[in-house]
Chain A
Amino acid sequence: MDSTLPVAAIVGIGLGVFLQKGRFCFVNAFRDFFAYKDTRVTKGVLTAIILTMVFWGLTYQLGYHQELWTPKWGMTGLIGGFVFGVGMTYAGGCASGTLYRAGEGYLQFWLTLLFMGGGYASFTAIFPTLQSTYFAPLTIDNGVSLFAISPIPAGFLAVLIAGAVVLVYAALTGSKAANNGSPERATTKTGLLTVIAPITGLQTFVSDTRTYLRGLVHALRTPVASSKRPWDPRSAALGITAVAVLWFVQVSIVGITGPEARWTGYLISQVGINAASFEYWGSILFQGQGIGITADMVMIGFVIIGSFLASLWSGDFSLRIPKRRRLPNAVGGGFLMGAGSRLAPGCNIGNIYSGIAELSIHSFIASVGIIVGVYVMTHWIYREVGCAI
């Protein structure tokens, strides 16, 4: 583990800095899209997933990767993901968002972290019962990644999927642009329009990307001043991809709630409770190797430090005291995130980011669960003012 410590520090600090600077928030990405069709952060999240998928696919194909994370798949992903999605929307921050906002000085998210710990511990306590009543009946088959089973080489497969996603994105934005301003055209959509849509969409995509890259080059001319300003989420996505590739090559896929659940076991063992005697901590999370500090635990600790440093540098750091009426959000949201991420298993990073990027069957299902959870909870939160979708 010693040799991976510096890598854990670099990856953790890098993630903290990029998440903070890009205000990279998975709740925001889906919630604001559902609530009023804002796609600024959604684009950043999609960019990170697609880029990471391509680079992980290539490193996997070349044999440079360490391990894949492929839990058994079934209805557990849908149910646990849903619970997690509801929890993160209620808490106002996903697993990664909670970490970097803790670093920015939000006391509310330290409280959320504490209650996520409560969720992990409660889950662990009832795990033996859940094994027979929840996991066994709802699991369909062993987990697998398309990287491993596809007849197409992983890197090529990733590029193909990335291309398909861009085409679908182009078709959607293209047909939206074509429908704009004339409601009749939306109903009398001709075949021709369907053919043209991806082309106009692609043009928009290319010109969007070109504008973004020009902005990036422009920003790099004054690196110090630019580094203090908030970044486009797509810039954060580039940085996140770089450290995720480093982590994939050296350790594993990027996860947050797994290491957090390990932290909970470790901290509980520090106050004299025999955490290893609980099946979930002892034999599953720590794989029978004893309760200790692992590289991924160190890595997520450094995410908080990285975000603290970045926010200090940008002048964003301040101790933010939550309003008393928001305490249920931290308590309830945190608990649901902790418990949901174990029931799935995996959080927004493990499933929506890393899991999709490594094409794991389980993560496709869990991501659907999480997004449905966000959708339902967004409608509940916006119940008095209305949602766009």
Chain B
Amino acid sequence: MPSIDDVTNTPDELSEKEADTLLEEADLVQDMRGEVCPYPQVEAKKGLQTLSAGELLVQETDHVPSTENVPKAVENDAEASVWRGSDAIDRIYLRKR
């Protein structure tokens, strides 16, 4: 079973399948495709408020700046990892603290 610690910036080091398993495990998935700043940040904060410590939130995004500023926006609330997909859709994995 993959964990959030396996998530890396390079798709080769975490296979598509493992990343998908981790996505299925998520307690909340937010489809942020087509969304631009600051809504992914706001939604991530809102989503994390509904989760309890240790639970996993995954955002799917096609807005590259989100992969930098969403983790930064929630750094006090969650541990973040970014997985860059091969099809221009990235995933942001957030484990609530």
Contacts and interface: CB of A to CB of B under 8 A. Distances in A.
24 contacts: A23-B68, A25-B37, A28-B65, A31-B37, A36-B72, A36-B73, A38-B69, A38-B72, A40-B72, A92-B36, A92-B37, A93-B36, A108-B34, A108-B36, A230-B68, A316-B64, A317-B88, A320-B33, A322-B35, A323-B34, A323-B35, A382-B38, A384-B46, A386-B45
Interface string B21-42: 0000000000001111111011
A306 to B, nearest CB: 17
Contacts of B37: 25, 27-28, 31, 92
Interface string A310-347: 00000111101111001000000000000000000000
Contacts of B69: 28, 32, 38
Contacts of A317: 88
Given A23-B65, A320-B62, A381 B38 contact: yes
A381 B42 contact: yes
Interface residues on A, range: 20 to 34
Given A36-B72, A92-B37, A384-B42, 11 more contacts: A27-B37, A32-B38, A35-B38, A35-B41, A38-B72, A315-B88, A316-B64, A318-B62, A320-B63, A322-B35, A326-B39
B49 interface: yes
A106 interface: yes
Interface of B: 33-39, 41-42, 45-46, 49, 62-65, 68-69, 72-73, 88
A385 interface: yes
A385 B45 contact: yes
Contacts of B46: 384-385
A137 B63 CA distance: 44
B66 to A, nearest CB: 10
Contacts of A25: 37, 65
Nearest 8 Cβ contacts at the A-B interface: A385-B45, A318-B88, A92-B36, A322-B34, A323-B34, A23-B65, A321-B34, A38-B72
Contacts of B36: 92-93, 101, 106, 108, 326
B40 to A, nearest CB: 10
B79 to A, nearest CB: 16
A316 B88 contact: yes
Interface string A289-324: 000000000000000000000000001111011110
Q: Which of B45, B63, B69, B72 has the most CB of A within 10 A?
A: B69
Nearest to B61: A320
A81 to B, nearest CB: 20
B28 to A, nearest CB: 15
Contacts of B63: 320
A32 B34 contact: no
A323 B68 CA distance: 21
A236 to B, nearest CB: 13
Interface string A356-384: 00000000000000000000001001101
Contacts of B45: 385-386
Contacts of A381: 38, 42
B65 to A, nearest CB: 5
A386 B35 CA distance: 20
Given A326-B39, A384-B46, A230 B73 contact: no
Contacts of B49: 385
A383 B63 CA distance: 23
Give the residue among B33, B37, B46 with the most A Cβ atoms within 10 A: B37
Interface in A86-105: 92-93, 101
A322 to B, nearest CB: 5
A36 B45 CA distance: 12
A382 B45 CA distance: 10
Contacts of A40: 68, 72
Contacts of A27: 37
Contacts of A321: 33-34
A31 B34 contact: no
Contacts of B64: 23, 230, 316
